[in-house]
Amino acid sequence: MNTLTVNELQSQKEILKAFPIMNQLRTHLDEATYLNLVTEAKEKDMYRLFALYDQEEIVAVTGFKPMITLYYGRFVWVCDLVTNSSKRSNGYGERILSYVHKWAKENGYESVALSSGLKRIDAHRFYEERMDYDKVSYVFKKPLDSY
């Protein structure tokens, strides 16, 4: 019997239930900031938050948004993807990212893109070897505190 399901997290209660897992990736966020950012991103930026459940337990979380740019065309940008650290190597990451691929295709998007921190070597191996992603660019960031 397949015990895995993917559900979109809509209510504040559902979003907060995913925080302990998301916080494993986004360690700089406290619960209130996380909730505020998710709520604002959903309202203003078409952000979607999904959880993979094994029976009743959240084992992985992803947040993504559909986008259109001249570089990528119509695509889905994966903003966040994390499997509970105690549940890794069980195929959950592959399962939830495959769900994103399916969602993107069903909704008329041409590709899925993401960035991954430079030191996340295991994640890079997962994306390239397991999920067949290509490295296509570097991502650059400039804090604006000095302006």
pLDDT, tens digit, 9 for 90 and up, residues 9-40: 999 999 999 999 999 999 999 999 999 999 99
* pLDDT at residue number 89: 87
Q: Tokens 């990528």 label which residue?
A: 72
The Cβ of residue 122 has, within 10 Å, a number of other Cβ atoms equal to 11
| Cα(102)–Cα(116) distance, integer angstroms | 21
Delineate the domains of the chain, giving CATH numbers in brackets: 4-130 (3.40.630.30)
| Cα(9)–Cα(31) distance, integer angstroms | 15
Question: pLDDT tens digits, the chain, 147 residues: what are they?
Answer: 578 999 999 999 999 999 999 999 999 999 999 999 999 999 999 999 999 999 999 999 999 999 999 999 999 999 999 999 999 889 999 999 999 999 999 999 999 999 998 899 999 999 999 999 999 988 898 899 877
> Distance between terminal CA atoms of the chain?
57
pTM of the prediction?
0.92
**Could you tell me which of 101, 100, 59 has the C-alpha nearest to residue 83?**
59
* pLDDT at residue number 59: 98
